[in-house]
Structure 1
Amino acid sequence: MTKITFLPHEEICPEGKTVEALPGQSILEVALEHDIHIEHACEMSCACTTCHVIVRKGYDSLIPPEEREEDLLDRAWGLEPESRLSCQSIIEAEDLEIEIPKYTINHVSEKG
């Protein structure tokens, strides 16, 4: 089993959470299975950027992104070199540390 640590996010996962996942699953599938509700407006079809995450540890262990994902990531808010769409990020054997950005291109929280 692969360990995935989701770093604290003010609204989605305030305490952070560490879960176990099977290789072959996407980061988004694992998050949703463990009640971490990452937004995914296109229902995991690689057609938007709402499930954008930053892979803080283990990035190179993921199956590399395809061109479509890379094109979409160019439009993501807060893009970093380790950014991925969580619906397209397939887990292998290495443990991961995931940051969920504060904003998405589809929804901006305006809480004070």
Structure 2
Amino acid sequence: MFATPYALAALLPFDDPGISSNTSGLPGLAQLREIVGALLTFGLVACVAALVVSSVVWGFGSNSGNPHLAGRGKTGVVVAAGAALLIGAANAIVTFFSNTGSLV
């Protein structure tokens, strides 16, 4: 009843052009990888700083009886943790979608 992606791809009238990613054809690719790696590191360090600041805000808000400040601190903790999760998983996410896209 349901067709697999391979069966659907076989029904398409297009042929595979035979083009794949080339890791050595672009000058400066090694430097670009270093820059992106540095951006990943910078992003993770910023997430740690945001997590610390948000935790402090949450603590001050809770101890001073200020629910708005405590709520903003909680939100900051969740956002910083989510951002760190996405930054850490960036390679896996891009690889997954690249591999999935190549099946279409």
Q: TM-score when scaled to structure 1?
A: 0.19
Q: TM-score when scaled to structure 2?
A: 0.20
Larger radius of gyration, structure 1 or 2? 2
More strand by share: 1
More helix by share: 2
